[in-house]
Amino acid sequence: MQFAGKMKVRIVESLCIACGLCREVCPERAVHPKMQDIHHRYEVLEHECTGCGDCLPYCPVAGALEEYEVTGFDR
Ligand code: SF4
Ligand code: SF4
């Protein structure tokens, strides 16, 4: 376990059009459909996302995928 800053990616729900492309390309299968969401949008599970960034160039909506930094103990 080490203290580290780590990049992750998350979906900005207000911008996401639920095309599903990020889910298709994610090598970690970290993108999941939100079961309770009537718009069938997706979410990135933080503990599964490695922050690789592979999804970013595929998103057709500018800003719908955003990088953020997690700081804390790496488990
Ligand atoms: S940054 Fe990588 S691991 Fe995280 S959701 Fe995007 S493709 Fe998946
Ligand atoms: S690629 Fe972009 S618009 Fe498509 S589901 Fe993922 S975040 Fe939403």
Tokens of 52: 């690789």
Here the CATH number for the domain that contains residue 27 is 3.30.70.20
User: Which residue range(s) make up the domain with 8?
Assistant: 2-70
Q: What is the mean pLDDT of the chain?
A: 90
Name which residue sits closest to atom 8 of ligand 2, judged by CA: 16
pTM: 0.87
19 C-alpha to center of ligand 1: Å? 16
39-58 per-position pLDDT tens digit:
888 999 999 999 999 999 99
Where the chain has pLDDT below 50, the residues are: none
Q: Assess if residue 75 is contained within a domain.
A: no
Number of domains the chain contains: 1
Q: Assess if residue 21 is contained within a domain.
A: yes
Q: Assess if residue 15 is contained within a domain.
A: yes
Q: Assess if residue 20 is contained within a domain.
A: yes
52 C-alpha to center of ligand 2: Å? 16
Mutate to test the pocket of ligand 2, among 14, 21, 29, 41 (most ligand atoms within 8 A of CB): 21
Q: Nearest-CA neighbor of 11 among 60, 74, 71?
A: 60
